[in-house]
Structures are given as structure tokens and as C-alpha cells.
Chains A and B, each alone.
Chain A
């Protein structure tokens, strides 16, 4: 068997294992899904009345403003679960068994990543459906929707690989949860909830030069119309860069000698 088909075969076996875990124990996934749903309802109904004034519109304009960020935050929240489950999984004896088998090594991690990206997309679709139910409307074409989905998948892939690395360096589930916390906090300091120009001047670069902001702006452009500009390329660059970084970080951690 060539090494490529070995990689594909072992990775799909590991994916099946991962999905089996997710199906048997859905509570973690559901818990993590709660955060973006709550935030969506919170920002639209509780803060929405006041916040909408800040962007010069009404409540439904604010829904449109906040949904792209919340879709990405859903991914941030799902990958915290990835970090936790990778960290948990590494304490299982079966991982040591995998290491002593003639399998494609990264497949253990690829199984986690693909499973987690699928979970992210399912969660994004659920949050998106709730958004539509409470009044989110998009006039995007089918192509626009496809492009938006592509951005979300790419974003999920990048953040999942980073989360896998965080899971690998975390000795326990608690540590993994803490280490992955920035992935939930980053969207709060992006253009997700308020426009960047409304933030203090010294803070604006921090909000602007982080992966969430260009991705949010790209999604806004795709779903709501308006200029995407350089944000599209920036988003793709961020995602590819983080994916590569996460992949090499994670696989080198996984291949390192165990204590």
C-alpha cells in the first residue's frame, strides 16, 4: 500500500473512531454549542437595542452585523472541545497502542481534526438556522453562500489544528480548556460585536490584526454585500498559515518521545 493511500485509509479509520466518540458522548459538543447560541440571543435581544444605535441602525440591522462574528465564534467554541478531547484522548492507553502499530502516525490527529471540522460545520449550520429564525436575512447568491461556507471550513480547519496542538501540550482536560480559552476570547476583541473605529485608538491595531477580524469582514461581504477588499486574501493567508503552523506543531508534539 502506498504511503498516501495508507494515510487516507488510516485517517478515515480514525475519523470513524472520532465520530463514534462524538455520537456516544454528545454532551461536550452540546455544551459548547450553548455559548454562541446564548451570545446570539444576548446580543440581539438584551444588548441589541442599545448596540444597534452604535452602528446607526435598528435591531434587525444589528442582527445582520453580529451574525458573521457569531458564526466564527461558534467555531472558536467548538475547537475548545477539540483541545479538551485531544488532551483526554492522549491519556487513554489506546494512544500508546497506536504508537506501536505500523499505521500512518498523523492519522490519529487527522481523525480528530476532520471530525472536529465536521462538528464545527454542523454547529455553524445550527447557529445560522437560529439566526435566520430570529430575523437574520441574507441576499447572497448561491455562489456567495458557497464562498461563505468555504471560508468557515477553512477557518475551522486552521483553528482545529491549533486546538489539537493546545490539547497535546495540556496535561489535563482543565489545562486544555484554559489553554484554548483565547480562541473564544479573540472574537470579543474583534469587529464581531462593535466596529473597530469605535474602540480606543491604541487598541484598534490589536483588534484589526488578528484572524477573526478579516474573516468576519469577509463573511459580511459575502453574506450581506459590501466591499471585501483585502480581507479575503488576509483571511485565506491567516487560515493557511495557522493550518500549517498547527499541523507541524501538533505532529512534532505527537511524534516526540513520551515520558
Chain B
């Protein structure tokens, strides 16, 4: 399972276009074994296309470079790649007409497990994913969270070393989402490599060892969550006023602040520590000014995401320097 580079997944210059619409414009990916890699991007960024190519569902365009999954060349030996991977797609890959248990046994048969071992594996996974009670019901009657759990349980039947999860928590309620996160963390402790796509920044932040931000078919940035957060300037304190006169005098008292005359807000660069906050408050106090609202903003992946992937919905909210904001398309 080890490649010369020690990567579970490596792709060079991955390209895909449909007609004249370019979906993937030459992306490079490297995922070390036993880590969680997250491909982050808005809807339509090309995340699912990337997963489909890497999981052998569709082929990359001819101009693409080499793709190796689990040490196998994707183009030359897709069947060996298939034997190494498990895939849970965006839309539940379960057979709705048969029961959860039958779905599991179907997977066991297709992985050519001996009868008894297949039954044991199915029973174990159904128990692990809390599906014992529902095991005898048709999968079409399951809730969204149950379907996803069954989906992942089915993916795990063959004990794959590399797992692709395409937006595994989209559409799940918060509790089901946290259950899914727990499941994903447990997978990696067993040495499995996880390739995760998501449009949720907190999910990538929570789970991923490395994150790549996909935008317009290109990797806009890649690194750990910390590295990505360092890409954009530090946090700030935001003061909001309702009275224009107070706003004006506050702007005078805090000359380093960035004023927003329309919103009557001031933004003061700050790392958000207690000392820094007290200093600001002291200066306001000595000028006899009271702000109507004070918020502390520390940079998070949202900032990175918006900075890298285009227009910010409310410019005043994000506190990004304008040079990082792309023009609206």
C-alpha cells in the first residue's frame, strides 16, 4: 500500500471539462496515509467531480498528469484502485428497496467474504452504527442520518484503506452531524486515509489534517487549518454606534480604526486578548464614549474561505482588507 512518496493519494494536473466548461483546471493533490484531507469549496466548485475521478467513476481529461491511489495507477489499473478504496457519495449509495441488513450482506457477498464472516461483519457494523433496530426495515424508510450511517457501514465492509466521503454531513441535523464526525475520527485512528469534501468550514477545521480550498477548478490555497488562517490578517474589534455624533467622536478618539460611515462602525485591528480589549475600553472611557455594541472577531476559516473564493456577502461583516476580496462576478 506504500507508494514511493508514501502518499495514499497523489494526483498531478487533474483536469476535467464538459464541453467548454472547465470543472477542474489542473489540480495537484497529495494525501499522506492515515490522514484526513479535506477538499473545501462552495457548491459547483468541482469537489464531486474530483471525487468521481479519484474513485474511478469518471475519467480525467487526457491532458491530466498521473494519479496514484493506494500505490496503483488510476488510468492503468482502475480495478486495483477499486479494491483499495471505499466510497460514500453525496447521494446515499444504498439500495432502498431492500433492508439495511440485506444491503450489508450484499456488500459482504460482493467482497467475496465467506458466508459466516460476511454475516459477522454485517452484524458488527450494524451494531457499531446503531442500526440494529432498523436492520430488518427497507432502507428507503430510513431517516437521512440513518441512511448515511448505513452508507458508511456498507463502505467499510471490505475494510478499505482509503475512503472517499463526498459531503458526508450535508443535509444532516446537528446531532447526526456530530455522530458522523465521531465516526470519521474513529476511522483514522485505525490507520485509514480519508478524503473528505465539504462545504462546511467548521467541518474541515474540526476533522482535517490538511485542507485544500477548491475554487473555480483550481486549488486556491492548501495547508493545515492554522496555516490557512495565517493567510489572512489578524482579528479585529468592531464597535457599533447608533448615534452619529458619538460615532464621530469615537472615530476621533481611535484614529487607527477603520471607519464605516454608513454602518456607523469602527474596526480596530486587535488579536482579541483581554489586555488589548481593556486598552480600547479605557480609551473609550477616558473620552466619555459608550459603544452600543462591541464584538471581537478572530480570524477563522470563514475568512479564509471568503477571501479565497470570491465575493463577500456583507463587506462590513467580514473585516477583510479589500485587496483580498475578489470582484463580484
Contacts and interface: CB of A to CB of B under 8 A. Distances in A.
B57 A17 contact: no
A102 B87 contact: no
B83 interface: yes
Contact of B97 (A25, A97, A258): A25
B95 A92 contact: yes
Interface in A61-114: 92-94, 96-103
Contacts of A93: 89, 91-94, 151
Interface stretch (B5-13, B102-110, B278-286): B102-110
Contacts of A258: 52, 57-58
B97 A100 contact: no
B170 interface: no
A9 B95 contact: no
A21 B138 CA distance: 11
A93 B48 CA distance: 14
B191 to A, nearest CB: 20
B161 interface: no
B126 interface: no
B109 A13 contact: yes
A100 B112 contact: no
Interface string B127-150: 000000000001000000000000
Interface string B214-258: 000000000000000000000000000000000000000000000
A60 to B, nearest CB: 44
B93 A97 contact: yes
A100 B89 CA distance: 10
B59 A10 contact: no
Contact of A24 (B87, B92, B97, B158): B97
B197 interface: no
Nearest to A94: B95
Contact of B98 (A6, A17, A99): A17
Nearest to A107: B110
A94 B57 contact: no
Contacts of B56: 99-100
Interface string B72-103: 00000001101101010101111111100011
A100 B55 contact: yes
Interface string B144-167: 000000010011001000000000
Nearest to B154: A97
Interface string B175-197: 00000000000000000000000
Contacts of B112: 1, 6, 9
A36 B239 CA distance: 80
Interface residues of B, number: 34
A13 B57 CA distance: 21
A102 B55 CA distance: 11
Nearest to A91: B91
A100 B59 CA distance: 12
Contacts of B87: 96-97, 100
Nearest to B59: A257
B93 A94 contact: yes
Contact of A99 (B57, B91, B92, B109): B57
A20 interface: yes
B83 A20 contact: no
A33 to B, nearest CB: 20
Nearest to A9: B112
Contacts of A24: 97-98, 138
Given A96-B57, A96-B93, A13 B110 contact: yes
A21 B97 contact: yes
Nearest to B147: A93
Interface centre among B58, B91, B96, B112 (most CB of A within 10 A): B112
Nearest to B87: A100
Interface centre among A20, A25, A93 (most CB of B within 10 A): A93
B89 A97 contact: yes
A21 B91 contact: no
A16 to B, nearest CB: 8
Interface centre among B91, B97, B111, B154 (most CB of A within 10 A): B97
B93 A10 contact: no
A92 B147 CA distance: 13
A105 to B, nearest CB: 9
Nearest to B53: A257
Interface of A: 1, 6, 9-10, 13, 16-17, 20-21, 24-25, 92-94, 96-103, 257-259
Interface of B: 18, 52, 55-59, 79-80, 82-83, 85, 87, 89, 91-98, 102-103, 106, 109-112, 138, 151, 154-155, 158
10 contacts: A13-B110, A20-B102, A24-B97, A25-B97, A94-B93, A98-B110, A100-B55, A102-B83, A257-B58, A258-B52
Leading 8 A-B pairs by shortest Cβ distance: A97-B93, A102-B83, A93-B93, A102-B82, A13-B109, A100-B87, A94-B95, A257-B58
Given A21-B97, A93-B89, 7 more contacts: A13-B109, A96-B91, A97-B93, A99-B56, A102-B80, A102-B83, A258-B52
